[in-house]
Amino acid sequence: MVKVKVVEQVTKANDQIASENQALLDANETLAVNLMASPGAGKTSLLMRTVEALRERLRIGAIEGDTASQVDADRVATTGIPVVQINTGGGCRLDANMVRPALKELPLEELDLLLIENVGNLVCPAGMALGQHVDVVIASVPEGDDKPYKYPGIFLGVDAVVVNKIDLLPYLDFDLPAFRELIAGMNPQARLFEVSCKTGEGFEAWVDWLAGQCSKES
Amino acid sequence: MHELAITEEILRIAVEHAERAGATRIVDINLVIGELSSVVDDSVQFYFDFISPGTVAEGAELHFRRVPARLRCRACGHEFEPEGTDWRCPSCQTVGGDVIAGREFNMESIEVE
């Protein structure tokens, strides 16, 4: 028996396609943002409210990732922006190979910002590159403040953490100072935004930061 | 649930390296998986046994070397392994730190005939 040294990243093929996706986005000066969260945290609501807040400043498109159905794409399409739905057929996350054909369907040359809504899941999307420039995880107040402990893989790798549904803070036992301390310790590079998609509270800081990421890119 | 796609990739990489080495059979595949990467060993072996027949990797055994998460405290430089909800540096009590191990997902080597 002979030992053959391999030393290869198992995700290498995906990473290759992801870098091609990113090159395509770069050529069109489009900033891609990967929005990740558990189901029900408010990914689609955040996306729609972000579109409303930024549509005068930026040209925005969206990719909706779900295991099945067209529901989210239909919702987002009501804002009038170009949107493509990807159904993963039960798959627990998007990968670069799924995003590639979706990019071809979008008028990238006319877009400054592409919001990619990943499949609702806090485990699997972590570390699976799509070609995005910015990673964001949304944590919502009803989920509890201990999510980063349970899903460190996702919280450690993001550029921003958005706490959604802060309008519910008075009714629930979410310890916001403890959450802030935990994020600052786990991922000090990550920006933390505290918002409510329902009331619009905190949105200004979030969309200003996002717009800033776009101008950094171009 | 993403283990099937991962397993297909493991098979592809292993076969590629075996063929390059002129091997006729892969006996063992050695993988390194960090605690922070989301991979379930049993599922990977299960899928592997399903998709490898007919290839040089048929019957190969997968070996997983698990690497625990390891952090370096940003305040005092102490290295420690976080456990559960305890992400505090045992030396100075600062929360968190730079991840120095635990995110690996590599194929280290294969044993071939």
State percent of chain A over pLDDT 70: 99
Q: What does the alpha-carbon distance between residue A7 and residue A9 come to, in Å, rounded to a whole number?
A: 7
ipTM over 0.90: no
Query: Dihedral sign, CA of A2, B10, B60, B37?
Result: positive
Mean pLDDT of chain A: 95
Give every residue of chain B whose pLDDT is below 50, as ranges.
none
Q: What does the alpha-carbon distance between residue B85 and residue B59 come to, in Å, rounded to a whole number?
A: 40
pLDDT band at A174, cuts 50/70/90? very high
C-beta separation of B52 from B58 below 8 A: yes
C-beta separation of B113 from A2 below 8 A: yes
B18, B37, B95: residue with CB nearest A182: B95
Domain parsing of chain B, residue ranges:
2-68+101-112
B102: which DSSP letter? S
Question: Strand pairing of A113-117 and A31-37?
Answer: parallel
Q: Which fold has domain B2-68+101-112?
A: hypothetical protein PF0899 fold (3.30.2320)
Give the range with max mean pLDDT: A9-18, A89-98, B16-25, B31-40.
Answer: B16-25
Strands of the sheet with B79-80, listed across from one edge? B79-80, B70-72, B98-101
**Identity at A153, one-letter amino acid code:** G
Nearest CA to B87 among B71, B103, B101?
Answer: B71
The verdict on a CB contact (< 8 Å) between A4 and B103 is no
Task: Tell me which chain B residues have a C-beta less than 8 angstroms from the C-beta of A127.
Answer: 37-38, 103, 105
Residue A114 vs residue B94, higher pLDDT: A114
Residue A32 vs residue B1, higher pLDDT: A32
Bridge-partner residues for A3, per DSSP? B111
C-beta separation of A154 from A126 below 8 A: yes
pLDDT value, residue A173 = 96
Q: What does the alpha-carbon distance between residue A183 and residue A187 come to, in Å, rounded to a whole number?
A: 6
The shortest C-alpha distance from A82 to chain B (Å) reads 28
pLDDT band at A103, cuts 50/70/90? very high
pLDDT value, residue A120 = 96
Residue of B nearest to A12 (CA): B9
Number of residue pairs across A and B with CB atoms under 8 Å?
108
* 3-class DSSP assignment, residue A191: strand
pLDDT value, residue B96 = 84
Residue A87 host element (H or E): strand A83-87
**Identity at B110, one-letter amino acid code:** I
The verdict on a CB contact (< 8 Å) between B13 and A6 is yes
Token digits of residue A91: 């798959």
pLDDT value, residue A217 = 58
Question: pLDDT, tens digit, for every residue of A50-85?
Answer: 999 999 999 999 999 999 999 999 999 999 999 999
Report in angstroms the alpha-carbon separations of B9 from A8, A66, B44, B49, B107.
11, 23, 11, 14, 10
